[in-house]
Structure 1
Amino acid sequence: MTDLQVHAPDGVPEVVPGTDLAQALLTALGHGAGGHDLADGDVVVVTSKVVSKSEDRVRTGDRAQALADETARVVARRGPTTIVRTHHGLTMAAAGIDASNVALGSIVLLPLDPDASARALRARLHELSGRVVGVVVTDTAGRAWREGQTDIAIGAAGLSVAESFAGRVDAHGNELAVTAPAVADEVAGAAELAQGKLGGRPFAVVRGRADLVTPLDDPGPGAVALVRAEGADLFGYGAREAVVRALTGDPADLAPFGAPAPPEELAEAVERVAHGAASTRLVGGTLLVSVAHPASTRLGALLEPLAFAHGWCCEAATEPGSTVVARMRPRTP
């Protein structure tokens, strides 16, 4: 049985640029009856808010301009909500910019490099306490398909951020294929239960998973290892944004659609969109689209964005008397 303990100390003073976060945590842990010392194998969890404050990432002025500066690309828009991919690779509402628990008129940006922040805090904690701990920097994020938000790891040091069960066998003899718990995110969520949103407890110490903590000379892969590469996510754009991007056809927008789809996948999509009015066949590496009667304006207008969304090029075929109306080829990098 694993005994997991989470302790979020009170008594942390307001964090300002230059605050020594390691000292602030250790001081807070010493408050109260008996204190609560760090132990080797503990995981220290800290909110990105106080990391950003200590690193002078608080700004005043135009939130819209800050959002533009922090955005690598827009993923989706829905009313006043804008979901973006940040320069860190994180997909978050408003690029993680926060206006809570900060002076009126100010906003807090995410740390420039959350993994580097985690490494620095881990080293400082070892310097002050002699303990070898893991560190997780957290922020709040929504989830696709789910209401509400939870904390996730946006930075990590000295920690295995994911476990792999691929190839292992369960109690019934079933081989696990893709099971890979994102344990850094699970630690972040557990810590948030103790920290709360309004309790003024930006730190938590999670005890009971020392098996995840790496030796002092091993910083671990960092939370960046949990970020899917551009184009590897099945939801690179929101539903509305994907339609607009495909119809616009800007080559700069191709990456989030991923690598070119297999020809069978594109062929099925063409036949579905044509509602039985077209057929496809693969000749070499070219997918030929044919119709039984002159192509409708509607079908012709749809083939190019359809090809774009699947990572293919579409060329109109103009051979007199031929039923072939388009030739599609995979795009090359």
Structure 2
Amino acid sequence: MGFPHITRGQDLGSAICDTIRSNRVELMDGDVLVVTHKVVSIAEDAVREEGQVQVSERAKKIAACNGMDPVKVEVALRDSVEVLRETPVLITRIRSGLITDYSGVDRSNAPPGCLVLLPTDPDQSARRIQERLKQEFNRDVAVIVSDTQGRPWRRGAVNLAIGVSGMSPFTVNAGRTDLYGRTLKSSLVCIADELSSAAELLTGQADEGIPVVLIRGVRVAKGETGASGIIRPMSENLFR
């Protein structure tokens, strides 16, 4: 049985639990569930109806320069807390701290006539799903909320973790030795991003209809940092 179509305001936790049961999946402690942000956002009603958006002159100007839809630009501006660049791509920082293009606003797999935003608090979104899984199945399952993001120095987008609960987003290799016996002084791997990218091989970005992926057999550390801990604070920004 596939995953159901998620509608605005639907109980996503129930949909995930029902799908696990209907497919007779036995969760295990240490499993990691990667959930695409699109179903999270739609379930949380982080959606804007295009016909209800009043477009500002600023949005029209940016859209004309960038060859973008002014409605999308307007929604992106409203959902941002800081505009870092307007052209040739609108780069913003949103409430969760993420820096992304057009505030992550997207039409793909959105309800007709709507734009989907990123969740307001992706870590909290992941936490709610994780707690629901614990309640329903009594298993310690980590949850990652993922989104596809571009990278400034490389072509092609990859899936990244924007929300994490039940695990540390990092693997710390400092103190281990390499093949030649040298001790690693500093090696911090963002395993949450790696697992998100691996999950995208199944979730895809088009009509795959697989918004939830179960990953098993990967060792992750416990932690309460959340994906917010992945984002560099502005004091560590190397380009400002």
TM range (shorter): 0.7 to 0.9
Partner of 2:184: 176
Distance in 1 between residues matched to 2:167 and 2:186, nearest whole Å:
21
Q: For residues 103 and 191 of structure 1, what CA distance do their matches in structure 2 show?
A: 23
Does 1:192 pair with 2:200?
yes
Displacement over 6 Å in runs of 4+: none
Decide which structure has the larger Cα Rg and report it: 1
1:21, CA displacement in angstroms?
Answer: 1.9
Structure 1: how far apart are the matches of 2:111 and 2:171?
40
Residue 37 of structure 1: how far off its partner (Å): 2.3
CA deviation map 1:177-220 (0-9, x unaligned) = 332110000110111112122201110001012x3153xxxx62
CA 1:72 to 1:178, structure 2 compared with 1: closer, same or farther past 3 Å?
A: farther
Which residue, out of 208, 214, 237, partners 1:233? Answer: 237
Letter in 2 for 1:177: K
Separation in structure 1 between the aligned mates of residue 90 and residue 127 of structure 2, nearest angstrom: 31
Shift of the alpha carbon at 1:74?
2.2
Matched, 1:55 2:36: no
Once residues 23 and 167 of structure 1 are traced to their aligned partners in structure 2, the CA distance between those partners, rounded to angstroms, is 42
Which one is further off, 70-79 or 137-146?
Answer: 70-79
Give the aligned partner of residue 163 of structure 1: 171
Relative to the length of structure 1, the TM-score reads: 0.62
Contact 2:146–2:160 (8 Å) recurs in 1? yes
Give the letter aligned to residue 138 of structure 2.
G
Question: Normalization by structure 2: what TM-score?
Answer: 0.85
Alignment correspondent of 1:117: 125
Kept in 1: contact 2:170–2:221 (CA 8 A): no
Give distance in 2, aligned partners of 1:49 and 1:213.
Answer: 26
Unaligned stretches of 5+ residues in structure 2: 54-71
- One-letter code aligned to 1:224: S
Q: Residue by residue, what CA displacement relative to the aligned partner does 1:40-96 show, whole Å, maximum 9, x if unpaired? A: 1100110111111111111113333321122122233443x2121222111111111
Q: Partner residue of 1:208? A: 217
How many residue pairs were aligned?
Answer: 219
* CA distance in structure 1 between the aligned counterparts of 2:96 and 2:14, rounded to whole angstroms: 27
1:21 corresponds to: 12
Unaligned runs of 5+ residues in structure 1 are 1-9, 236-256, 258-333
Quote the sequence identity (%). Answer: 38
1:220 matches 2:228: no
The one-letter code matched in structure 2 to 1:225 is G
